[in-house]
Amino acid sequence: MEQKDIFNDQEDRSLLAAFGWWEKRRIAYNVIVGICGLIVLIFFLNVPLDPALIIDAILYGVIVNLFYTLGFLIEVVSRYYFKSDRDFSKSRKGLFWTGLVISVLITFGIGFILGSMPPQD
């Protein structure tokens, strides 16, 4: 059985290929950021599960996914609005990892800040 590397794709400069590249990795991104979010909820916040917390977690998930979409949008804007001939297929991997690390750090940062605040009565 052949192993697939999600980062080893054939070079293709079309926007459809760029969109596909980012969407193939969205699930991995969501799983990693989601696990970090669960760690924050369990270990940092230590609050009872209530509907407002669930809504906040879903909203946070939507926001980080909007930021994830920036990877693809950077390529679109660069190509069509700035008429760039840059080959983004070689820098997508770096953009992905940079965005993932920033998302994880922000997730833990928010958890640390909220977890260190005194409880509200």
| Domain assignment of residue 4, yes or no | no
Q: How many domains does the chain have?
A: 1
pLDDT for 97 equals 94
Question: pTM value?
Answer: 0.78
pLDDT for 12 equals 59
| Domain assignment of residue 58, yes or no | yes
* Helix 92-115 vs helix 15-39: crossing angle, to nearest 10: 20
Helix, strand, coil content of the chain in percent (nearest 5) = 70, 0, 30
Q: What is the pLDDT along the chain (121 residues), one digit of tens a residue?
A: 555 555 555 555 678 888 999 999 999 999 999 999 988 888 877 777 778 888 988 999 999 999 999 988 988 888 777 777 777 777 889 989 999 999 999 999 988 888 777 766 5
Under the phi-then-psi rule, with left for phi > 0, alpha for psi from -120 to 50, and beta for the rest, what region is 114?
alpha
Q: Which two tokens stand for residue 35?
A: 């696990």
- State which residues form the domain around 57: 19-82+91-112
| Domain assignment of residue 70, yes or no | yes
